A and B are shown apart, each in its own frame.
Chain A
């Protein structure tokens, strides 16, 4: 579970990057972040039942002038592959993908997901970074959001437990 300090760092980073529209499917490791986002008056927050829905909701958010992000586990990233391809990439929609990296080094749960996550992102041609240093998280969020908006594409940040 993310500490309060880690959650504040990430939520503040999103707001500093201009993100005002967030969609999420929960993972226990992001719980504190999602609680904060839900309560934040500057964030339009939508919980969805399945991650691919979120790609659609973020698309509508972008088309009406918002900067969007989606929080999900990497299993949800797999659930979203068609929406990412035939909506986000095909229409050129910027979305910051904030992905909990289950099955990464040191995480025994969902190890197969951990193995395939980065190869799948590479195959989709979605630029990504693994977040491992809490001190750099806000800078990396700002950079990823800038790139997503300029390139009009999704960009992914994979959150390890070290930053949560």
Chain B
């Protein structure tokens, strides 16, 4: 199973969930299979899981899906401890693990050897931590995660082969504003507003 096959297997389950995609090809691949303003690209390697945690805490009535990678999660393993402590019920953390730094030329990561991310997540306090290495198991794990209280962690083991998706078509600012407008539209919240100009108050 490559990443595109894995994402194809779950795309129809996602509607108004907030999705954060890790720095690298997960961002462009997810945009191809499920284009939506509810997708935020992470640019800092590792911060995908932390941004997702912040979204889950900030909007507890909305499910948040994190599409993480193995290089990114290895860099920010401490985020698993924080998620295991805060236990947001609405967080679905998926680590798409191809065992290498794909965007950096394919150098191996720790999970190419003995690192078991599901065991690490369980040890960090995320009891619902499962492993999938084929589209049917992965789809079943995501379906379960989207219909029950979390936090959930899914270790999705994929092959290194990849489809060539076109680059994500937005810069960070456009992505942010569209994402916030998506949150506003789907929650009824007002987030962006012109603040009163302090220099005109007096």
Binding site for B on A (CB under 8 A): 21, 44, 46-50, 52-66, 82-83, 86-87, 90-93, 146, 149-150
Cβ–Cβ contact B47 & A83, under 8 A:
yes
Cβ–Cβ contact A48 & B59, under 8 A:
no
B2 at the interface (CB under 8 A from A): no
Cβ–Cβ contact B58 & A66, under 8 A:
yes
Nearest residue in A to B85 (C-beta to C-beta)?
Answer: A47
Q: Which of the 9-residue segments B7-15, B149-157, B175-183 touches chain A? A: B175-183
Most chain B beta-carbon contacts within 10 A, residue among A47, A86, A146: A86
B134 at the interface (CB under 8 A from A): no
* Bound Cα distance A46, B76 (Å): 16
Nearest residue in A to B20 (C-beta to C-beta)?
Answer: A60
Cβ–Cβ contact B57 & A60, under 8 A:
yes
The smallest beta-carbon distance between B198 and chain A, in angstroms, is 6
* Bound Cα distance A93, B179 (Å): 13
The smallest beta-carbon distance between A144 and chain B, in angstroms, is 12
* Bound Cα distance A29, B48 (Å): 30
Q: From the candidates A44, A49, A61, name the one contacting B81 in the complex (CB within 8 A).
A: A49
* Bound Cα distance A149, B48 (Å): 23
Q: Mark B161-197, 1 if CB is under 8 A from A, else 0.
A: 0000000000011011001100100000111000100
B52 at the interface (CB under 8 A from A): yes
B43 at the interface (CB under 8 A from A): yes
Cβ–Cβ contact A58 & B54, under 8 A:
yes
Residues of A within 8 A of B189 (CB): 64-65
Cβ–Cβ contact A60 & B50, under 8 A:
yes
Q: Mark B66-85, 1 if CB is under 8 A from A, else 0.
A: 00000000001011011001
The 4 closest A-B pairs by CB, nearest first: A60-B54, A56-B50, A64-B58, A49-B78
Cβ–Cβ contact B180 & A60, under 8 A:
no
Residues of B within 8 A of A59 (CB): 47, 50-51, 54
Cβ–Cβ contact B82 & A87, under 8 A:
no
Given A56-B54, A57-B57, A66-B58; A149-B43 close (CB under 8 Å): no
Residues of B within 8 A of A55 (CB): 44, 47, 50
B24 at the interface (CB under 8 A from A): no
B141 at the interface (CB under 8 A from A): no
* Bound Cα distance A55, B179 (Å): 18
Cβ–Cβ contact A53 & B76, under 8 A:
yes
Given A46-B86, A53-B82; A91-B54 close (CB under 8 Å): no
Cβ–Cβ contact A87 & B79, under 8 A:
no
Cβ–Cβ contact B183 & A63, under 8 A:
yes
Residues of A within 8 A of B96 (CB): none
